[in-house]
């Protein structure tokens, strides 16, 4: 996930991100590039517009809450949390932001909203029912907490785009509401570009109940498998690059759906479906879905029969939107029927 902010440094970052992910391809209807079938009737893309906020800035992450049939996104400029439903075209302010705050990647698990705080270095956990921040974990300065995943055991794993590590908060620490995150080095296997503003690790998902992680490196387009089972390596992790015929440069948010990895990419603005094979050592692109409503997409969540794709539109201005794209078209590369 990538971000634009109101500071001069962040403006430079936004320019770099815009170069990675240009504007969406203009198309009259949504469809798959391998078949070109357009959307029909109730399966047409829905567009959800964020309520105006002077300081929230670009949205970034998105998370779906099955318990309340609602989704959440956040403002990168001040940490505002927005809440929407599939029945309402407007996404409303849920928790107001604060000066110096930022909300980037997010996930929902068991009634709580987990938020990666970008350049703030903070991981914040909210109780959805009360809107109260029940825990905040600090990783210090100099990094960019981009995306996160919550495992079945309640552990949090967070990507850092600037520092060559993953951050780990245990489920017990979340329950206690306090603790210091531990850092898991991703080198020397994953080489980081240390140029200021260069975004490295980005989207993240968990497989095998949280024993394996898949991450994408935006600047190289490489997918990486991180096996956390201690019996596989004395260091507690085994990191291997996933073979791809073509790197997914500018790849951002990730989602696992129907046994495939869904990768949000910005050039073109699309969802790329990757089938992992040979114990997750190789990936094959099954399908690419584009849509006229996508503008600088950042990440994706599954909400019933739709993919919710955040139009971060880096460098753009409000109003910002989320595209609700039908996910029922074609399990094996077919179009939207």
| pLDDT one-digit tens code per residue, 236-275 | 679 999 999 999 999 999 999 999 999 999 889 999 999 9
Whole-angstrom distance, CA of residue 74 vs CA of residue 76: 6
- Dihedral of CA atoms 204, 208, 212, 218 in degrees, nearest 10, equals -20
CB crowding 168-205: b at 16 or more within 10 Å, else e? bbbbebbeeeeeebebbebeeebebeeeebebbbbbbb
Q: What does the block give as tokens for 30?
A: 């949504």
Residue 322 has pLDDT above 50, yes or no: yes
Average confidence (pLDDT) over 277-288: 94
Q: What does the block give as tokens for 91?
A: 């996404």
Q: What does the block give as tokens for 174?
A: 């979340």
Whole-angstrom distance, CA of residue 326 vs CA of residue 172: 37
Whole-angstrom distance, CA of residue 174 vs CA of residue 66: 21
Whole-angstrom distance, CA of residue 166 vs CA of residue 184: 5
- Structural domains in the chain? 8-326 (2.120.10.30)
Question: What average pLDDT does the structure give for the chain?
Answer: 87
Average confidence (pLDDT) over 216-226: 97
What pTM was computed for the model? Answer: 0.86
On the 0-12 / 13-18 / 19+ scale of CB atoms within 10 A, 238 is middle
H or E stretch at 41: none
Residue 336 has pLDDT above 80, yes or no: no
Grade residue 59 by pLDDT with cuts at 50, 70 and 90. very high
Task: Supply the pLDDT for residue 54.
Answer: 85
Grade residue 5 by pLDDT with cuts at 50, 70 and 90. very low
H runs (alpha helix) in the chain? 8-20, 171-176
């Amino acid at each position: 996930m990538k971000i634009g902010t109101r500071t001069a440094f962040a403006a430079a970052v936004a320019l770099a991100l815009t170069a990675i992910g240009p504007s969406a391809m203009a198309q009259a209807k949504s469809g798959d590039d391998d078949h070109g079938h357009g959307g029909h009737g109730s399966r047409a893309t829905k567009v959800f517009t964020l309520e105006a906020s002077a300081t929230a800035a670009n949205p970034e992450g998105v998370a779906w809450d099955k318990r309340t049939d609602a989704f959440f996104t956040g403002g990168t400029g001040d940490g505002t949390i927005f809440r929407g439903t599939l029945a309402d075209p407007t996404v409303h302010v849920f928790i107001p932001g604060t000066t110096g705050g930022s909300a980037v990647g997010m996930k929902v698990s068991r009634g709580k909203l987990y938020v990666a705080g970008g350049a703030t270095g903070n991981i914040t956990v909210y109780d959805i029912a009360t809107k109260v921040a029940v825990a905040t974990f600090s990783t210090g300065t100099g990094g960019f907490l981009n995306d996160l995943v919550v495992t079945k055991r309640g552990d949090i794993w967070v990507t850092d785009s600037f520092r060559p590590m993953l951050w780990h908060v245990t489920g017990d620490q979340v329950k206690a509401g306090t603790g210091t995150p531990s850092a898991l080095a991703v080198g020397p296997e994953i080489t980081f570009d240390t140029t200021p503003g260069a975004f490295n690790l980005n989207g993240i998902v968990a497989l095998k109940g949280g024993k394996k992680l898949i991450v994408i490196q935006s600047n190289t387009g490489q997918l990486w498998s991180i096996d956390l089972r201690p019996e596989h390596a004395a260091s507690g992790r085994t990191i291997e690059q996933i073979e791809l015929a073509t790197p997914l440069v500018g790849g951002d948010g990730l989602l696992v759906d129907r046994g495939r990895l869904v990768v949000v990419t910005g050039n073109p603005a699309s969802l790329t479906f990757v089938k992992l094979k040979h114990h997750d050592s190789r990936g094959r692109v099954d399908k690419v879905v584009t849509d006229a409503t996508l503008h600088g997409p950042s990440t994706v969540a599954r909400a019933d029969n739709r993919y919710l794709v955040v139009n971060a539109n880096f460098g753009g201005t409000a109003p910002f939107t989320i595209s609700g794209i039908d996910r029922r078209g074609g399990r094996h590369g077919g179009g939207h029927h």
